[in-house]
Amino acid sequence: MATLSAISSPPWPNPRPAPNSDDFLPQSDPSDLSQTVDSLSLITEDDLHHQNPSPDPDPDPDSAVSAPAGLAPSPAAPPALPPKLLHVSFNQDHTCFAAGTGHGFRIYNCELFREIFRRDFGVGGGGGGGVGVVEMLFRCNILALVGGGPAPEYAPNKVMIWDDHQSRCIGDLTFRAAVRSVRLRRDRIVVVLEQTVFVYNFADMKLLHQIETIANPKGLCVVSQTAGSLVLVCPGLQKGQVRIEHYASKRTKFVMAHDSRIACFALSQDGKFLATASTKGTLIRVFNAVDGTLLQEVRRGADRAVIHSLAFSSTAQWLAVSSDKGTVHVFGLKVNSGSTGNDASESASDSSSVVTSSNSSRSFFRGVLPKYFSSEWSVAQYHLREGSPYIVAFGHEKNTVVILGMDGSFYRCQFDQVTGGEMTQLEYHNFLESQAS
C-alpha cells in the first residue's frame, strides 16, 4: 500500500491570551500565508505521482534479502487493520472528499473513485496523528486540519492551515475552546466553536466578524461559494432559529425554522436557498435565504430520525436527505437556481413534473385529512444499513448521488426522475481499504 508520510510541521510557540476576546488566541504568519494563498494551484495528477512514486511493480529478485541458511523465513506480517475514521466531508463542489483518521488524513476522487493521496502522521511507532476535521478548498493544495481522536496530531483547539505542496503547516489559529468545524472559501476561513463563529480574511488571517450562537456541539455552519457574495448560515440564539448573514449587503436575517432544536441545514451553492431539519427529523423546510420566507415543506417520514446531512443539487432542482434510519431520500423542489435559458426551463419542467406525479395520488386528501396525508414525499430512495451515519451529495452526472458512510462505505447511485422509487447502485467501495493511486 503506497503511503505518503508528511514532513513534520515546525513547532508553534505557545500563544499569549488575546486581551479582547474570550475564545480567540491569534497565532499565524500572515506574510507566509498570503504568499501561498495568492499562488493557489490545483492538485494535478503529475504532482501526485511526483510526490508519491508507485512501488516498483517488478523488483529485481536478486536484490531481495534472503534468510540465512538453516533458518526459516520470518512469517509475513498480518495485514494492517483499517484506521479508525474520525471525519468525512465533501469538498465545495463535491468532486472530492476528505477523511480524517486516527493516523492522519486521506483525499479521494468521487466521479472516478480512487484515493488520490494520504498523509500519515505519527509513523514509525511514534503514535498520535489523529485528525478530527479535514476541510478542503475545492481541489487546491490548501486544507484546514484540526486534531482529533484519542491521540490527536494537533491540539483540538487549533486550526492548522496545511499546504500540501510544502507538506507542512503554514499558519494556525488557536482558541480557548475546542474547534467543532471549519468552513473554507477562497477568501474566508470560518471557524466554529460550540457557541461562537469566527470569520477571518484568508490572505492575512485577520478577524472580520464574531457571532454568538446557541449551544452548537455539532459545529453547524454553511457558507455560499459564489465569488464576491458571501452568505453564512449558523444557529441563532434561540431554539429552532437560524441566522443568515449576507455580507455583500450587510444584512442579517433570523428565521424561526422549527419548534425543536436545529439538527442540520444546507445552503445552495449561490446562497439563495436554505434547507433545514430539526431534531425531530420528520419534516424538511426550504426557505428563501434572502428574505426568510418558507418556500416548501417536504416529509422524510412519520417517526423521529436523526438527520445527518442535507444537500442541494447544483441547480436547486433536487434536495437529498440522509438520516439514521438508513435511507437516503431525494425530493423534487419547486425552486430553481443557477440555470439560464433552455437549461432553466428544462430543469423547472422536469422538477414540476416529478413533484406533481409524486403528489397526484394524495392531492384529494388536502383539506380533508391531517397534514401528514397531504405531505410532499420523496421521489427516490436508497436503503442502507441502519444506524451508521451517512452524508450525501449530488454527483456531476445527471441524477446521481454520492453517499459516504462513517463505516468507510462509498456509494454512487442514480435515480429515475420520472418513475422514482429505489435508486440504482452504480458503484460501491470501502474507501478505508483503498490504495493511493
The set of residues, in sequence order, having a beta carbon less than 8 Å from that of 195 and lying 6+ positions away, is 212, 213, 214, 215, 216
The set of residues, in sequence order, having a beta carbon less than 8 Å from that of 403 and lying 6+ positions away, is 322, 328, 382, 384, 390, 391, 392, 409, 410, 411, 412, 413
Report the C-alpha gap between 406 and 17 in whole angstroms: 36
Relative to beta strand 196-201, strand 181-184 is unpaired
Report the C-alpha gap between 135 and 92 in whole angstroms: 9
Q: What is the pLDDT of residue 158?
A: 96
Residues in the chain predicted with pLDDT less than 70, given as ranges, are 1-81, 122-127, 336-375, 434-437
Q: What is the pLDDT of residue 11?
A: 32
Q: What is the pLDDT of residue 124?
A: 57
Q: What is the pLDDT of residue 435?
A: 63
- What is the distance, to the nearest Å, from the Cα of residue 390 to the centroid of all Cα atoms in its chain? 11
Residue-wise pLDDT for 358-415, tens only, equals 443 444 444 444 554 456 888 999 999 877 899 999 999 999 999 999 999 999 999 9
Assessment of whether the complete model's pTM goes beyond 0.85: no
- Angle ∠(13,19,21) on CA atoms, nearest 5: 95
> What domains are there in the chain, each with its CATH number?
1-6+22-51+83-203 (2.40.10.360), 213-431 (2.130.10.10)
Nearest to 267 by CA among 353, 167, 379, 185: 185
Here the cell at position 388 is 451508521
Here the cell at position 365 is 386528501
Q: What is the pLDDT of residue 370?
A: 53
Report the C-alpha gap between 19 and 426 in whole angstroms: 55
Report the C-alpha gap between 173 and 186 in whole angstroms: 17
Cα torsion 145, 265, 193, 86: sign? negative
Confirm if 345 and 301 have CB atoms less than 8 A apart: no
- Angle ∠(297,299,303) on CA atoms, nearest 5: 140
